[in-house]
């Protein structure tokens, strides 16, 4: 009878470990029964997305319900501030993103912004943030990083990554620095395909890895892997599935050229096409664990009980068939549980005094104004031309952007026309701009663009509009890579709501009465 008892106990431990390494999502603003049941069976982490958030009170109630089922629990969220927000997914963020903070280049400001963001997360019961992005945005054509990066200079990115980690964790929220070993030099979005970085190892050491070394030195509790292929490191496997990247580089001692990181390694979303299209989610998760990952992030797209059971069973099966060492799974589960226990003992909002206006302060400081000549501030309702690119999946299309709403607060009656690449392709640039001019009539125009350097249709339309109405003000809410154009050019370094507010204030010379 003893072998039977030992076997049952081993099977139960294996299943609990397999559940422990998963960071799944779910739908809705209340905890589903299946999720609560799995927490009782060994699940240690839950990932939240915009679809789970209505307001702070609801979110606090949700996380409280989850912790009533399991007290030592990791509740994670993808809250970068700026363009990528889940707390304020339907209204726009109260915090500028990394690119704005990098433009100011004041590490104390970055630390303060991250601390206040962490305080708000902690107040809602969240103790792991899949942020900051430590990617060096060295490729201007990058379709997925852009303003999510502090900038293109490795040393600037490093000092702000460290400050962000310190600020966030001072509020009791663990940082998860991403996307290791660096997603900045890509022209492909890993949500859709597998990016390839051709940089050699010396370049990686001198550019991509510099901010991650700073994050490790600053004590980041977690690091998120990237679904990118770096042939100089591993010609076959993307970093998330690569022992050379995770075990051999991230974990290796500094004396051996590694980063010496001993915290939690989290994968980027496993349903992203860079992994799922080539390996499948189950196979990819097994390979990620075997390569050195500790936690499998899934749930951005697949968010039901079925995916949790599929991955749990795939991991158990891989151990039983000898493909995944049992000790590797046990070590990964132990790291997850250790972070859950540490997060509980740290406490929500520790050491973080409220600083409700810090985000707007940072956005105002990040604004860069270029004038072609004297510019008369806007005093009457205007017409906003919003040149809108297709949103990448990380940002999502739920979060509003642009300046129309903020201008309308200051100049009631302001109207807007949205222009897309698809409309330009169908109607032609000339017809698109003619329609704008007709809609604007005699009102002054404000053109809003986002990464105009990456979108030829947008650049053409803006050129045609400025030729017809040279008095147009232009607001760039992406990376200001293109030369300034317009009677007045504003670079906000991001599309957060506070960035729009700062731009509207600059255009009008006015602030809302509450700020005056």
Write out the catalytic residue numbers.
191, 268
Helices (H), 70-208: 98-104, 107-123, 154-170, 201-206
Sheet holding 383-388, edge to edge: 368-371, 488-491, 473-476, 445-449, 383-388, 415-420
The token duo for 330 is 């046990």
User: 428-437: long-range contacts at Cβ-Cβ below 8 A with a sequence spacing of 24 or more?
Assistant: 429/457, 429/460, 429/461, 429/464, 430/464, 432/461, 433/461, 433/464, 433/465, 433/468, 436/383, 436/385, 436/465, 437/465, 437/468, 437/469
Q: Which of 350, 336, 423 is nearest to 386 (CA)?
A: 423
Helices (H), 355-450: 358-366, 404-410, 421-427, 429-440
Residue carrying structure tokens 């707007």: 360
Q: Can you give 196-240 as a three-state secondary structure string?
A: ECCCCHHHHHHCCHHHHHHHHHCCCCEEEECCCECCCCCCCCCHH
Residue carrying structure tokens 């809108």: 388
CB-based contact 240:291 (threshold 8 Å): yes
Q: Could you tell me the end-to-end alpha-carbon distance of the chain, in angstroms, rounded to an integer?
A: 79
Q: Which of 176, 196, 181, 197 is nearest to 135 (CA)?
A: 181
Residue carrying structure tokens 């504003």: 490
Cα distances from 162 to residues 19, 77, 185, in angstroms, run 31, 20, 21
CB-based contact 493:480 (threshold 8 Å): yes
């Amino acid at each position: 009878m003893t072998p039977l008892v030992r076997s049952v106990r081993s099977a139960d431990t294996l299943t609990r470990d397999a559940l422990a390494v998963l960071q799944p999502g779910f739908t809705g603003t209340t905890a589903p029964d299946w999720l609560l049941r799995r927490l009782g069976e060994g699940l240690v982490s839950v990932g939240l997305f915009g679809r789970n958030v209505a307001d702070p009170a609801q979110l606090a109630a949700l996380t409280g319900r989850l912790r009533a089922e399991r007290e030592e629990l990791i509740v994670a969220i993808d809250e970068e501030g700026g363009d990528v927000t889940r707390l304020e997914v339907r209204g726009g963020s109260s915090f500028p993103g990394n690119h704005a903070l990098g433009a100011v280049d004041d590490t104390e400001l970055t630390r303060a912004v991250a601390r206040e963001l962490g305080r708000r997360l902690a107040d809602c019961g969240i103790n792991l943030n899949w942020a900051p992005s430590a990617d060096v945005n060295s490729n201007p054509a990058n379709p997925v990083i852009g303003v999510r990066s502090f900038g293109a200079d490795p040393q600037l990115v490093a000092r702000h990554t460290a400050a962000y980690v310190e600020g966030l964790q001072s509020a009791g929220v663990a940082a998860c620095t991403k996307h290791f070993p660096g997603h900045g030099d890509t022209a492909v979005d890993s949500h859709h395909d597998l990016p390839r970085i051709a940089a050699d190892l010396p370049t990686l050491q001198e550019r991509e890895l510099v901010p991650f070394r700073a994050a490790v030195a600053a004590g980041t509790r977690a690091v998120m892997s990237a679904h990118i292929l770096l042939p100089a490191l591993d010609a076959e496997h993307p970093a998330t599935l690569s022992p050379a990247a995770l075990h051999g580089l991230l974990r290796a001692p500094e004396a051996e050229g590694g980063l010496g990181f001993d915290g939690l390694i989290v994968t980027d979303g496993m349903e992203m096409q860079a992994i799922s299209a080539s390996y499948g989610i189950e196979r990819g998760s097994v390979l990620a664990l075997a390569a050195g990952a500790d936690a499998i992030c899934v749930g951005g797209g697949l968010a039901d009980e079925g995916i949790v059971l599929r991955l749990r069973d795939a991991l158990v099966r891989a151990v039983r068939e000898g493909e995944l060492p049992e000790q590797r799974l046990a070590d990964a589960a132990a790291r997850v549980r250790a972070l859950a226990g540490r997060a509980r003992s740290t406490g929500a909002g520790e050491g973080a005094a409220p600083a409700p206006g810090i985000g707007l302060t940072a956005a105002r400081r990040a604004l860069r104004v270029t004038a072609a000549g004297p510019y008369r501030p806007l005093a009457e309702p205007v017409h906003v031309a919003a040149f809108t690119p297709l949103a990448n999946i990380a940002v999502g299309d739920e979060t509003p952007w642009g300046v129309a709403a903020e201008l309308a607060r200051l100049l009631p009656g302001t109207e807007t026309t949205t222009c897309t690449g698809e409309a330009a392709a169908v109607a032609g640039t000339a017809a698109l701009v003619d329609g704008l001019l007709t809609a604007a009539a005699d009102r002054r125009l404000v053109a809003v663009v986002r990464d105009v350097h990456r979108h030829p249709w947008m650049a053409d339309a803006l050129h045609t509009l400025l030729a017809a109405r040279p008095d147009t003000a232009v607001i760039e809410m992406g990376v200001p890579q293109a030369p300034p154009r317009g009677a007045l050019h504003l670079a906000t370094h991001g599309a957060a709501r506070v960035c729009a507010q700062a731009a509207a204030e600059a255009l009008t010379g006015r602030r809302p009465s509450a700020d005056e």
